Amino acid sequence: MKARIQVLACKACTEMPQLLDMDDLMNVASERELVVSSMLVDRVCDPKIIKRVVAEASERDVDRVLVLACQKKDVNPGLLAAYKRAGVNEFMVEYINLRDEVILPHISDKERAQAKAETKAVAGLERLLMLQPLEKAEEVMRTKNVVILGGGVAGRKAAEVAAAEGAHTIIIEKSGSSHKTPGVIMPNSTLLGAKGYGGNFVLSIKAGEKVEELECAAVVVATGGGWAELKGPLAKAFKSAVPLYRLHEQMQTGAVPKGPVVIVDSPDPAGKTLAVQDFAWDDTLELAIDLKKQQPLEEVYVVFQEMRAFGLSELAYKDAAELGVRFIRYDRAAGPKIDPKEPTKLTVKDLAQAEVLTIPIGTLAFAAIPANKDNIGIATALRIPMSPEGGVRRGSIQRWPVSTPRPGVFVCGSAMFPKSKDMAEAEGEAAGLMAGKFVMKGVIEYGGVVAEVAQEKCSACLTCVRTCPYDAPYIGSAGKVEIRIQACQGCGMCAGICPSKAIELRGSTDDQIAQETRTMLGGDF
C-alpha cells in the first residue's frame, strides 16, 4: 500500500505564528507527494480539535502522520490515542519539535527559523516514508503492590490514594514509624536494588538486618530527599540562616520573619560545586511577593548571580518589582560576603550600579541547597535519572509532573527538590493516583520502539549489557545478546555504543537516520 500522510501543525504558542509563515510551511509540506491531508490548527492538544483532525485522517484513509508542534511528551497523549483508535499505527506518528528546535533557538532570525522549519518538515516526511508499523504486546502484572519509598507526608498521602484505587500499598520507611496509613509499613528498611520492569518489579529491600525480595508493580519515590545541611561561608557567618523552603513553611504557620529579609541564591556564592537549582527562581519570586504583602514596609532583598523568570514567571517578577522587592545581581568574583564579626550585615557589589552595597540582615534564606547523596542511591537502585539539582528527575512539568522517565516509577515531594508540606502532599496525592491507576490496569504494554539484535554480528563483548540503564540486554543461551523486551525503553544507548553494530533500534534505524540527515543537508555526503 502506498503511504497516505497527514501533516498537522499547531499555532498555539504566540511565537510560532509570529516568527514563522505557517501557511508557507504548510504549503511546503502539503506539496510533497503522498500528503493527502494537511491541517493548521489553533491547538493540537485541544480535545475538540483532536476529534476533528482524526476524523479527517479516517476519512482520507491516512496511515501516517507528521505533527509539527512540540516534543512528543509535551503533546496531549489523547492525540496519539485517538489516532490509534482510528487505526493509525502509533509508531507511524512522527513529532517534530518546532518549539524547542526552531522557535527558541532562532527567535530573532525569521529567515533561519523558516528555513529550518521547512527542512525539518521535509526530513520528517522522508523519515515517515521509511517507518514500519510496530506492534506492542502485553504481559500480565503479577501483583497489585505499590511500593512507596518514604513514609513522610507525601508518601502517606500517596499510599492513601493508591489504596483507594485498589492497590496494595507497602511503605518502606528508613526510620521506625508510628503513623497510621492503609496497607503495610516496613520500618527500618531501605531499598537496595530493583530487578525487572514497570508492572513486574522485584525489589530487594534491607529490612533491619535481613534482605528481602519484594514483588511490586509500581514504585513511588517519596523520600524526603534528605537535603543536606547548609554549608558555605554565608551560612557559617549567619547562624540562623535557613533554606528557602523552610522559610516558606514557617510563614505558612503564621510566623512573621524578622526584616529585612535577604534571599541569596547560594550559601557559597564563590563555590563551583553548588548550582542554583532551576526551581529556585520561581520559588524566590513567590516568596518575595508573599513577604512584601505580609509586611509592606520591611525591605526584601534578592541577591542572585542571575535571575531568570520564564514564561508567566515574568509577571511574578514584575509584581515583585512593583511591590518594591530589591533585586541585586552580583558577579561570582565579587559575591556577597558576611563578616562573622558583624553578622547582621551583608556586603555585595551590585553589577548594575557597579558599587558595593551594605545590606542589613534580619532573616537570611538561601534558594539553592546542596542535595544529599541518599538520592543518588535511590536513583541508582531504580535506574532513574537525577536532575542537575541533585534530586530525582521528573518527566515533563506540563504532562508528567510526578512521573519519572521509567514506566511504573513515580516521584513526589522533596525527592525532586525541597518543598513545603502542602506541596509535597499534593504531589503525593497525584503520584498515588498515577501509581494506583497504573497497577489497576493489570497488564503491561511493551514492545514497539525497542532494541533488536542481529546475533550473527554480536561479539558478546558485554558493552550493551554494561551500558543499558534498564538491564534489558543479557547474554542468552546462544552466547549472544538477547533483549528483555519488556524492560527495554527504547533509549537507543546500546545501539549507539555496540562496537559491532549488532543492535538497531526499531523505528530509528541507521538507514532512517541517514535518510533524514541526507534530506536535511540537501544532498549526499
Partner 1 sequence: MIVAKRKPMAEIAEMVAPYKTVKVIGCRSCVAICLAGGEKEVKMLVSALRLKAKKEGRKQEFEGLVVERQCEKEWVEEVEGKILDSDLVLSMACSLGAQTIGDMYPKKIVFPALNTGIFGVPEEQGVWSEKCVGCGNCIIHTTGGICPIARCAKSMLNGPCGGSSNGKCEVNLEVDCAWYAIHERLKLQNRLDLIEQVSPPKDWSTSHSGGRRVYVRDDAKLTQHQKKGKEAVR
> Which residues contribute to the site for ligand SF4 (CB under 6 A)?
450-451, 453, 458-464, 468, 470, 472-473, 481, 483, 488-494, 498, 500, 502-503, 505
Give the separation between CA 146 and CA 415, rounded to whole angstroms.
17
Residue in 465, 469, 473 with CA at minimum distance from that of residue 393? 469
Q: At which residue does the C-alpha cell 503479577 appear?
A: 142
Residue 82 corresponds to which cell in the numbers above?
A: 485517538
Given the complex with partner 1, which of 102 and 451 has the nearer CB atom? 451
Given the complex with partner 1, which of 18 and 459 has the nearer CB atom? 459
Answer whether 408's CB lies under 8 Å from 218's CB: yes
Q: Which residues bind partner 1 (CB under 8 A)?
A: 457, 459, 461-463, 466-467, 497-501, 525
335 binds, among partner 1, ligand SF4, none (CB under 5 to 8 A by kind): none
What is the DSSP secondary-structure string of 199-220? TEEEEEEEETTEEEEEEESEEE
For residue 360, cis peptide bond before it (omega within 30 degrees of 0): no
Given the complex with partner 1, which of 333 and 525 has the nearer CB atom? 525
In the complex, least distance from residue 197 CB atom to partner 1, rounded to whole angstroms = 22
In the complex, least distance from residue 470 CB atom to partner 1, rounded to whole angstroms = 15
Answer whether 341's CB lies under 8 Å from 275's CB: no
In the complex, least distance from residue 466 CB atom to partner 1, rounded to whole angstroms = 5
Given the complex with partner 1, which of 185 and 494 has the nearer CB atom? 494
Answer whether 384's CB lies under 8 Å from 404's CB: yes
Give the separation between CA 425 and CA 435, rounded to whole angstroms.
15
Q: At which residue does the C-alpha cell 528508613 appear?
A: 174
Please provide the size of the chain in residues.
Answer: 525
In the complex, least distance from residue 485 CB atom to ligand SF4, rounded to whole angstroms = 8
Dihedrals φ, ψ of 372, to 5°?
A: -90, 155
479 binds, among partner 1, ligand SF4, none (CB under 5 to 8 A by kind): none
Given the complex with ligand SF4, which of 262 and 481 has the nearer CB atom? 481
- Non-local CB neighbours of 458 within 8 Å, separated by 6+ positions: 480, 481, 498, 500, 502
Give the separation between CA 41 and CA 67, rounded to whole angstroms.
11
Given the complex with partner 1, which of 84 and 466 has the nearer CB atom? 466
In the complex, least distance from residue 460 CB atom to partner 1, rounded to whole angstroms = 8
251 binds, among ligand SF4, partner 1, none (CB under 5 to 8 A by kind): none
Given the complex with partner 1, which of 380 and 459 has the nearer CB atom? 459
In the complex, least distance from residue 446 CB atom to partner 1, rounded to whole angstroms = 26
Give the E-state strand segments of 255-342 in sequence order: 261-264, 300-304, 326-329, 337-338
Calculated CA dihedral for residues 486, 492, 497, 499, nearest 10 degrees = 70
In the complex, least distance from residue 380 CB atom to partner 1, rounded to whole angstroms = 14
Given the complex with partner 1, which of 165 and 516 has the nearer CB atom? 516
464 binds, among partner 1, ligand SF4, none (CB under 5 to 8 A by kind): ligand SF4
Give the three-state DSSP class for 180.
coil
454 binds, among partner 1, ligand SF4, none (CB under 5 to 8 A by kind): none
Answer whether 8's CB lies under 8 Å from 42's CB: no
Residue 372 corresponds to which cell in the numbers above?
A: 544529599
451 binds, among partner 1, ligand SF4, none (CB under 5 to 8 A by kind): ligand SF4
488 binds, among ligand SF4, partner 1, none (CB under 5 to 8 A by kind): ligand SF4
In the complex, least distance from residue 465 CB atom to partner 1, rounded to whole angstroms = 10
489 binds, among partner 1, ligand SF4, none (CB under 5 to 8 A by kind): ligand SF4
Dihedral sign, Cα of residue 433, residue 434, residue 439, residue 442? positive
Given the complex with partner 1, which of 266 and 463 has the nearer CB atom? 463
In the complex, least distance from residue 483 CB atom to partner 1, rounded to whole angstroms = 18
Given the complex with partner 1, which of 291 and 498 has the nearer CB atom? 498
Dihedrals φ, ψ of 391, to 5°?
A: -110, -175
466 binds, among partner 1, ligand SF4, none (CB under 5 to 8 A by kind): partner 1
Give the three-state DSSP class for 363.
strand
Residue in 148, 33, 231 with CA at minimum distance from that of residue 411? 148
In the complex, least distance from residue 461 CB atom to partner 1, rounded to whole angstroms = 4
In the complex, least distance from residue 501 CB atom to ligand SF4, rounded to whole angstroms = 8
525 binds, among ligand SF4, partner 1, none (CB under 5 to 8 A by kind): partner 1
Pairing of strands 300-304, 326-329: parallel
Q: At which residue does the C-alpha cell 523520600 appear?
A: 223
468 binds, among ligand SF4, partner 1, none (CB under 5 to 8 A by kind): ligand SF4
**Strands, sheet with 210-216, edge to edge from the N-terminal-most edge strand:** 189-197, 200-207, 210-216
Given the complex with ligand SF4, which of 54 and 451 has the nearer CB atom? 451
Give the three-state DSSP class for 372.
coil
